[in-house]
Structure 1
Amino acid sequence: MNPVLVTGGAGFIGSNLADRLARDGHRVRVYDALSRPGVEANLAWLRASHGEQVEFVHADVRDHDRLTAATSDAKAVFHFAAQVAVTTSMTDPVDDFQINIGATFALLEALRHKGDGTPLIFASTNKVYGDLADLDFALENEAYVPVDADVRAHGIGEGRSLDFHTPYGCSKGAADQYVLDYARSFGVPTCVLRMSCIYGHRQMGTEDQGWVAHFLIRALEGKPITLYGDGHQVRDILDVSNAVDAYVRAWERIGQVKGRAFNLGGGPANAVSLRQLLAHMGQLIGREVAIESSDWRAGDQRYFVADTRAAQAALDLGPRVDWREGVARLAAWLASERRLNLSVGQPQGAVA
């Protein structure tokens, strides 16, 4: 049985996708350098859950020979391995370039030369749209909301002009465009999912990436959380189970969606400001979350909410987990994983 290759497969979204694929009966090849703290636990979980159905390749995506070899018998490729932090890209733009552009290009070339129609589904980012500085916002209930009625109702659509900011935005944006062009120029069946903020089980959040889990970890441990900017920034957070569904559907429908990019997020129903989210976390853990403030960071968007209508229609996606329910689930999982003797509230949730 030919495997499905998941680069970054020991990471947060990658391990959740690998688990789903294995449960669906696929053999999964996890390709990961294990450079992110905590991902060894995700790999151990996958191996304990699925045994030999999960194959592990311990390698860096900058090793193009091993990366190419990993595609040789793959029936599909999901590309999650990346340098994921804006802050890191500002201090080491060379590594950011080599990982995000170089490795993606190597994968595309491997699939082009393979020539058998193996699809590539690429994990992109909402950062390809820049800081949205041309939009006007009003401040309502501790959250920035667009003045434009259509954007307020639906969010940012795929028709928005690309505007790369920071080395991270440039590297992910360039890779995004290469992936789309290899479908156009060479017929490689590719699809791009431009993600908003994904959260959920197996997320080892840090201040620079995975901020929903990072906020919860700090809150559960009774430590202060630093807000960069005023904390009124709004994001449409999406439970990882919904993100995994979208990736699987993109593969299943690659004949219909090849060469297309979709915005993937929680949409307007799951839009929440940082301060609103922290208030909810305080309710979950039964105490106010301590907050510290610092200056705005480069390229930070005051608002990003994805217009998910194109993805919902093209990928036939189901309802999304309500952010309140999803965050409560994550809080309970993190408390259990960290063996914290805390009673985490479980509010009634809905789907959006």
Structure 2
Amino acid sequence: MTSPGGLRPILITGGAGFIGANLADALAAEGRDVLIYDALLRPGVEANLDWLKRRHPDRISAVVADVRDTAALAAAAGDAAAVFHFAAQVAVTTSLVEPATDFDVNLGATLQLLEALRRRPDPAPLIFASTNKVYGDLADLAFRREGEAYRPADETLHRHGIGEDRPLDFHTPYGCSKGGADQYVLDYARSFGVPTCVMRMSCIYGPRQMGTEDQGWVAHFLIRALAEQPIAIYGDGYQVRDILHVADAVAAYRAALARIGQVSGRAYNLGGGPANAVSLRQVLGAIRDLVAQPLDLSFHDWRAGDQRYYVSDTRRAAADLGLDAPIAWRTGLRDLARWLAEARGLVLPEESAPRRLAASVSSA
């Protein structure tokens, strides 16, 4: 299958989703033909695909199909110049309700995609979107609370974050399916010479994200705040993540493809790193300032497999992929807030106004 430009396209599974759409836009803008493969099941992704087609009518083509459709997936992969594999079941909660579906989508379909590439005389590179959940809940690590966030007792961990040498420890069906796929992708480089690379992502956020309570929490919090709706917090809100703007994630994926000869068979932790390590409460405080009104928060039990602290050690990725310092999280949060407000016909208050509000977020 060729793209409108007549060249071998870059295939992006889940390409109408948040990260896939941003990546497709960047690739098309530099003159690459892109084939979007997406079932269009997630609310809002049809709008992303329409946006891509309007912006790049001669570069973007699409196959609307499920990744469990082996024949359609093999056909799309058969002519691809490279593959970015984002299509997935993305919610831990859903995996606990429907573990067999989670397995089929996340692990089974990834294996079929790898097989389609292996059967080619010239296997195309595959860059896989994995997750920090492959490291489990990190329950063996000691943390203490400082202010509004958890902090590791180990100072080296605090300075650098979790490295790729951390032992894998799959929790929940989602962790198992994504972790299993992660390992298959790496092994196909070792066993069969398929050029592959794995990105173990922390929390990515930014424009075109349709966040929900189960996935995409930064956008979800902003969407609820802009709509003046209640926000549910699972856990105590002091849990920490290193959030990364989607522009920086796209840069990392593009760099991995450009350097696939050097990085094939490697996995990288991809996140904002210690400089962008922030707790849910700290993000909520910044959101409160952006919308210039108090937030209606409620607190609930921790969810299965949730980590009290996860921050990526990004030194290996930065060195091997030549990455620049990531966008500061407050700057990126304002960028997402403006996009979400504009998409809803809203205007954010002046950023000076929120400073008159009380500084604290309600306690659990």
Match of 1:74 among 76, 80, 84: 80
- Letter of the structure 2 residue corresponding to residue 336 of structure 1: E
Shift of 1:343: 2.4
- Answer yes or no: is 1:242 the counterpart of 2:248: yes
Could you list the per-position Cα deviations for residues 137-188 of structure 1 after superposition, in whole angstroms to 9, with x for gaps in the alignment?
0100110110001100000000000000000000000000000000000000
**Pairing 1:186–2:192 present:** yes
Give the 3 Å change call, closer, same or farther, for CA 91–346 of structure 1 in structure 2. Answer: farther
1:302 aligns with 2:298: no
Match for residue 275 of structure 1?
281
- Deviation string, structure 1 residues 244-269 (Cα, Å, up to 9, x no partner): 00000000000000000000000000
1:158-177 equivalence runs, <5 A: 158-177=164-183
For residues 5-154 of structure 1, the aligned pairs below 5 Å read: 5-154=11-160
Note closer, same or farther for the CA distance 1:346–1:8 as it changes in structure 2 (3 Å cut).
farther
Provide the rounded CA distance (Å) in 2 between the counterparts of 1:31 and 1:230. 38
2:248 maps to 1:218 = no
SS at match of 2:342: helix
The answer as to whether partners of 1:279 and 1:288 remain within 8 angstroms in 2 is: no
User: Structure 2 counterpart of 1:128, which letter?
Assistant: V
Equivalent residue pairs, number: 347
2:314 is matched by which residue type in structure 1?
Answer: T
CA displacement 1:119-143 (0-9 Å, x = unmatched): 0000000000000000000100110
- Give 1:338's aligned residue: 344
Normalising by structure 1, we get a TM-score of: 0.97
| Aligned partner letter, 1:104 | T
Q: Are the equivalent residues in 1 in contact too, given 2:290–2:348 (CA < 8 A)?
A: no
Distance 1:110 1:344 in 2: 52
The CA deviation at 1:344 is 5.8
Q: Let me know the Cα RMSD of the aligned residues.
A: 1.1
Q: Partners of 1:100 and 1:59 in 2: how far apart? A: 15
Unaligned runs of 5+ in 2: 1-6, 354-364
Q: Give the unaligned 5+ runs of structure 1.
A: 348-352
Name the TM-score, length of structure 2 as normaliser. Answer: 0.94
Query: C-alpha offsets along residues 278-321 of structure 1, whole Å, 9 cap, x if unaligned?
Result: 00111111112111011000000000000000000000001210
